[in-house]
Amino acid sequence: MVNKKIFFIGILLLMNPTTALGEWQIKPFIGLSFGGDTTFIDVENAAQTPNITFGASGLLLGEIFGVEADIGHAPVFFQSDDRQLVQRSSVTTASGSVVVALPRRQSEYGLRPYFVSGAGVMHVRIDHHLGVLKVSSTLPAIHIGGGATGFFNSRLGLSWDVRHYYSIGEPTQGKGLSFGGEKLSFWRATMALALRY
């Protein structure tokens, strides 16, 4: 008898997941990382300057609270346009977050602001010419930020987001490739296409 009840509840959830659990949002984004501060040897002084970043996030959002998974990639984080000392570099972030948003009923036809905070990892890679000063390091990290999402119709919208990422915990001791323990922090500002299901 209990199995039949669970089966029918499962069928109801599948028939109307938005009502039962909230709405799903997929957000492919593009933007800039900037304001970096790091102990890694940044020979081109590029971490502080704006660099392109892109990625995607998936969000399950209820009336107020939600959960999010986010992956971002900045492919030339430690490279500048006017210097050619670094052959290849990147910073990749992967994180899970808690989202707190303005109740949907109060923002049905306008922008819906939200606050986001979470934890995950950031992977730092720096390849210099001739293979010297090579860096490949994964650091635990947290982020905090916010943004706003607005929809043109029931499925399609745009989202704007700003977050501050920074490594946490006891600094990892590098192999002579950082000034002291390995640390990195930076800001990320993005615009996303929001797809709602």
Q: What does the DSSP 8-state code read for residue 129?
A: G
Angle, vertex CA 103, rays to CA 113 and CA 61, nearest 5: 80
3-state DSSP assignment of residue 105 = helix
Across 4-8, 59-63, 70-74, 158-162, least confident range: 4-8
Q: Contact 53/32 with Cβ under 8 angstroms? A: yes
With cut-offs at 50, 70 and 90, classify the pLDDT of residue 176: very low
Total length of the chain:
197
| pLDDT digit string, tens, across residues 41-67 | 888 889 999 999 999 999 999 999 999
Share of the chain above pLDDT 90, in %: 60
Whether the pTM exceeds 0.85: the reply is no
How many CB atoms within 10 Å of residue 176?
8
Q: What does the DSSP 8-state code read for residue 131?
A: G
